[in-house]
Each structure stands twice: as C-alpha cells, then as structure tokens.
Amino acid sequence: MTDSYAVDVEGVSKSFGAFKALNGVNLRVRQGEIYGLLGPNGAGKTTLIRLICGLLAAHAGTVTVLGQRMPNVAVLRHIGYMTQQAALYPALSVEENVSFFAAINGADEGVKDALELVELYDRRGSVVATLSGGLRQRCSLACALVHRPELLLLDEPTVGIDPQLRVQFWESFRRMAANGTTIIVSSHVMDEADRCQRLGLIQYGRLLAEGSPADIRAQGGSQNLEEAFLALAGRKAS
Amino acid sequence: MSGHRVRAITRRLLQGFRRDRRTLALLFVAPIVILGLLGYLMRGSTSSPSVGIANEDSGPLGVMVADALRHSSHITTTDISAADGDAGLKDGSLVAYIVLPSDFSRQAQNGNVAPEVHLEGSQPGVDAPVLQALQQAMIALASQVAGRNVTFQPQIKYLYGGKSYDTLDYFGAAFVGLVVFFLVFVITIVSFLNERSQGTLERLMASPLRRGEIVLGYMLGFTVIALVQAAEVLIFSLAVLKIQNQGSVFLIFGMEALMAIAAVNLGIFLSMFARSEFQAVQFIPLVVVPQILLSGIIFPVSTEPKALQYLSDVLPLTYAVNGMRDIMVKGADLTWSSLQLDAGVVAGFCVVLIAAGTATLRRRLG
Ligand SMILES: Nc1ncnc2c1ncn2[C@@H]1O[C@H](COP(=O)(O)OP(=O)(O)OP(=O)(O)O)[C@@H](O)[C@H]1O
Ligand SMILES: [Mg+2]
C-alpha cells in the first residue's frame, strides 16, 4: 500500500548531462516519521529533496508524495521546503518574509507561532539584510513551516544554529512529528542523526544503507554512529 | 601599490569572462548590432518624402515648376488635386503637398509668387527637404522670367503642429512614453534575476503558486510603480517643460500604462535568458537602442530602408510612439482608427509577452 507512506521514492535516477547525481534510489518514509538523509558533500541529498518536492523531474523511477505522483502542484501546499541556503528577500523584514511565504501557501495565520518557534518574534521588525547568518537560517525555517505542512523537507536546517537553539529545534521537530508531520532532514551532524527515527546513507547518488540508528550501528559494526557510517561508506566504495 | 595584487584582480575578472561565454558574446555582438543598424539606417534611408503636387496654374510657368519639382532628388512626387491633399496628409500617404494657384504665371510676371505649401507637421526632419526642393524649383523659375526679380513667398500651412512647435514638442511626445518603458524594463529584468540568484525563485516554485500567478503578480506590482512614474513624467513634461499637447491627458496616461505593462512583461521574459545580472545588463542596450533607432522617434519609419521597415513593424515601441504622437501632436482620440490600431497592437504585445513569460518560467529548474 503506497498510501501508508508519506513519501515513496521508487527507482529514481537523475542526471545532469552525463553526470549521474542519483542512481536507482528507493526510499519510503512513513507519516509522522523523522527521516535523516546523510552523506558527504555532493552525494545527492539536495537533488533528492528537490525531486521529492517536484522541482526536478526524474529521468527514471517515480516519486509519490501524500498519495500523489510528483510533480503535482496541488500537493505543494502540504509541503514545506527549507532550502540549503537561506533563501529570503533581503529588503523585507523578518515578519514580512514569513507572512509572504504564509500567503503564497494559502495560510494567513501562524506567522506569530512560527516566529516564536524560531525565537525571532522580538526581531520580527529587523530587515533580513541586517541579520546574522544564524538568524537568517532561523527565519528561513520559519518560512518553511509557517503554513503547517504535512511534509517538511529540511535541507541542513541547523547549519550555523547555536547549540541551545539546535536542541530546541529538535524538540519542536519531535513535537511536530508526534502531531503527524512527516520530516525529512539532511544533515552532516551525527548527534542529530541519532535523533532521527530512520536514517538513509547516500553516497555517489546511491542509497547505501538504511535503518534506525541502532540498525546502522549494527550494520557498520561500531557503537559510534560516525564510525559505523565511515565503515559502511568505505566498504561500499571499495 | 602591489603590482601582484592588482594583477590578481585583473586576472580574476578575465577568468570569469572566459567561463561566461554569453556575456562575452553579448559584449562583442551588441556594439556591432547597434552600429550596423545605425549605419544602415543613415546610409540606406530613402529620405525623400512623398509630396503631392496640385498644379492649378492656367499659364505655362506652373507646368515648368511642377516639372522641376518632379525631378528634384529631395522629394518623391505625385500629381494630385488640391482638394485631395488634406486627406493624403491625414492617411499618411503624403507628408506635404504644394499647390500652384491658378494665377501662378501671372504672379510670376508681377515678380511675386506665393505657392501654397501644406505640411503634415508631426514628423520633424521631413519639412526641410520639401522646402529645399521648392526653393530650387523657384530658382529655375526665376531664370525663365526674363528681366525681372521674382520674390518668393510660400504660404506655409501646417495640418498638425506648426511654427510654434519646437524640437522638444516633437520628440517630447515620444519620449514621455519611452522613459517609462525603459526604466520599468530595467528594474523588472534586474529584480526578476535577483529572485533567481537569491534562491527565492526555487522556494516560489516549491509552493502552490502557479507560473501565471507569479507573472501577473510581478506585472501588477511593477505596473503600480510604473504608473506613479508615468504620472510624474507627464506632469513634469506638461507643466514644467511645457511640451505642447493637443490630446487628452487621460489617453496619454492610458497609453503609458499599456507601455509599462509591455515593458514589465518584456523584462520578465528576457530575464529567463539571462543567467546573471551581468548578462541582463548586456541585454539592456541590445533591446533599448535598436528600438529607439527603429521606432520612428528619430527617423520616420516611412523613410527607413525597406528591410528595416519590416523590423520596425514588429516592434511594440513603433506603435507606442506613433500612438503617443497621434495623441499629443495630432490630438487623436479613441475614435481614430490609427490610434485604435496602435493601442490594440501594444495591448496585443502585452498579452503575447505575458504568455511567453509564463511559458518560459518553469523550464529553468527542470
Ligand atoms: N543543476 C546542476 N547541474 C549540474 N550538476 C549538478 C546540479 N545540481 C547538482 N549537481 C551535482 O549533483 C551532485 C549532487 O548534488 P547535491 O546538491 O544533491 O549534493 P548534496 O548531497 O546536497 O551535497 P551538500 O552536502 O554539499 O549539500 C553534485 O556533484 C553536484 O555538483
Ligand atoms: Mg545539499
């Protein structure tokens, strides 16, 4: 049953010219699950996320999101996408940015909640161009979840975020997941990986290993998640 | 000063260009296109305006003057009757007509000739060759009338414009619309490109926004700015520069609004083909200068080489400029078929550009 999965990626390949960025990726994420995408730079994480929200079209395979084949504009209102670089309007204030993304996603409320979640409510009047990198990242996250999407795609959301706030972010991710939001998050940070319910390791455009953090530890033969990953990656590469 | 560091900057610039083939191409193509066009336009122009001749003289000298005019290299002539002259000026088939009155020969014998010269008057630059041709015909005439000095007092009448019009009045009408068109075009192309480079376009594409909604939203936003600008330009032109205006201010404003909408959509459409602000900036002269040269502002379209006339006929600005002149110099209103055509064509361009902008939008992320 495809319907029980929020995201179902089957045999997806994507090339840029002669370069194969994704090669036969299969991936299923259940509703309310937090799924971590891990992999070195250039592995294909961002490309996979773009395929899931329909920004790119696959050359082979299918992507099904919330029961609909992608690309599909109707599904997009239920997806929140936080891009890897904080993509914001520098001339607008924090609140104006968040309100804009709320409006284009058809939500009029939730701006205050989103700003409070990322602790930017007090800075809501600041112009984005004057914000520090981490503050921009927070504003970008607020823009992605302001319309309370059913599926959140977060591309390295905690880069540049200080440790205290990072803990709070993961608290809120867990709360949202408990309320039924599906979250796919890419990361390089291993202690974050440990907070995911399931992990997928991507390298050279292939899904090398998949499972809960405990499964990954077992497969990699190490109690340390980072070492387990390096072992898995090294084994497949050689 | 370190030569090493200066060289590093210079080298970095040139390395960037080596990768950016499109900017490089534009950098070298644009000047050739612009200068080539200008050269072709100036050398190839058939700047001999068509002039009607109505010879009503009962004596022999009228025939002689008409003949001299026919052989003039300054003008192209057709024989007409004086009654048809104004119609010819209005429909644009003539830029002037000359009437040699029935007592022309007698006037000449009396030493004082007064042929009537009717000028259309809305196009600067075409009046001079007409008067020059007539002057030469008169010199020929003087040599025929033995033993007398013949003074020459043409009766000049303007259908539009006239003596009180100066260069600014003629060009002003066109430039009022042009200023808005180009400034709006530039800000649209740059801000749409920003949307791409700062990554927000990717976010828009991942939202339920439809392409048409993006294009229309942009169009409305910039049109608001453009209309404020248009109002300012108009007030300044009429109140401060005192450019003469025969038509309705509301019509001018309406025409400006149409041009602004066309400019916004042209900007969106062309920004699809620019990958960087660098490239966009190169587009600007390539789009702007040929349109200024070919839209009939400086060189009337009818005097262009034939090949360029076809090009002029497909440029939206040609119609916009013509419409603005119709309103401001000729006092046209919406019952004029020429103004209906101009406004209709500019509106049609808007629709085509909206569709083209919308159609090209998605492709880039696919
Ligand atoms: N538009 C594109 N054109 C050409 N190659 C591309 C394009 N987008 C991505 N690639 C290539 O595809 C590969 C995967 O890129 P992707 O952005 O998915 O990596 P990533 O896993 O997100 O890496 P990072 O951790 O650095 O963000 C890279 O080698 C990248 O250079
Ligand atoms: Mg990435």
Non-local CB neighbours of A54 within 8 Å, separated by 6+ positions: A63, A65, A70, A71, A72, A73, A75, A76, B206
Q: Before B115, cis peptide (omega within 30)? A: no
B282-317 pLDDT tens trace: 778 888 888 888 888 877 777 788 888 888 888 888
Could you list the beta-strand ranges (E) of B225-358: none
Identify the domain containing residue A116 by its residue range.
33-39+75-237
CA B223 centroid distance within chain? 22
Cβ contact (<8 Å) for B200 and A143?
no
- Asked if residue A34 has pLDDT above 50, the reply is yes
Local structure of residue B323 (DSSP, 8 states): H
CA of A182 to the centre of ligand 2 (A): 20
Angle between helices B211-235 and B167-197 (to 10 degrees): 150
Q: Is A41 in the pocket of ligand 1 (CB under 6 A)?
A: yes
Domain contains A231: yes
Domain contains A9: no
CA angle A72, A77, A80 (to 5 degrees): 105
Cβ contact (<8 Å) for B208 and A90?
no
User: Closest residue (by CA) to atom 7 of ligand 1?
Assistant: A16
Alpha carbon distance A160, A55 (integer Å): 25
Six-digit token string for A48: 């996979």
- Asked if residue B241 has pLDDT above 70, the reply is yes
Domain contains A223: yes
Mean residue pLDDT across chain B: 83
In chain B, what residues touch A57 (CB-CB under 8 Å)? Answer: 366
Percent of chain B with pLDDT over 70: 96
pLDDT, greater one: B221 or B42:
B221
Q: B241, B168 in Cβ contact below 8 A?
A: yes
Those residues of chain A whose CB sits closer than 8 Å to some CB in chain B are: 53-57, 73-74, 76-77, 79, 81, 83, 85-90, 101, 104-106, 143
Non-local CB neighbours of B263 within 8 Å, separated by 6+ positions: B180, B181, B182, B184, B185, B188, B226
Please count the residue pairs, one from chain A and one from chain B, whose beta carbons lie less than 8 angstroms apart.
45
Residue B364's pLDDT band (boundaries 50, 70, 90)? very low
Domain contains A58: no
Give mean pLDDT, residues B164-191. Answer: 82
Name residue, tokens 């070492």: A227
User: Closest residue (by CA) to atom 2 of ligand 1?
Assistant: A16
Residue B146's pLDDT band (boundaries 50, 70, 90)? low
B95-143 pLDDT tens trace: 889 888 888 888 888 888 888 888 887 776 777 888 888 888 888 777 7
In chain A, what residues touch B206 (CB-CB under 8 Å)? Answer: 53-55, 76, 79, 81
Residue B47 is predicted with a pLDDT of: 64
A133-191 pLDDT tens trace: 889 999 999 999 999 999 999 999 888 888 888 888 898 899 899 999 999 999 888 78
Q: B327, B252 in Cβ contact below 8 A?
A: yes
CATH code for the domain of A123 = 3.40.50.300
CA of B145 to the centre of ligand 1 (A): 91
Quick one: residue B121, left, alpha or beta (phi over 0 = left, psi -120 to 50 = alpha)?
left
Ligand minimally distant from the alpha carbon of residue A202: 1
Total domains, chain A? 1
Q: A190, A178 in Cβ contact below 8 A?
A: no
In chain B, ranges of CATH 3.40.1710.10 domains: 50-158
A75-86 pLDDT tens trace: 998 999 999 888
CA of A22 to the centre of ligand 2 (A): 13
Domain contains A146: yes
B262-282 pLDDT tens trace: 888 888 888 878 777 777 777
Residue A177 is predicted with a pLDDT of: 92
Instruction: Identify the architecture of domain B50-158 in CATH.
Output: 3-Layer(aba) Sandwich (3.40)
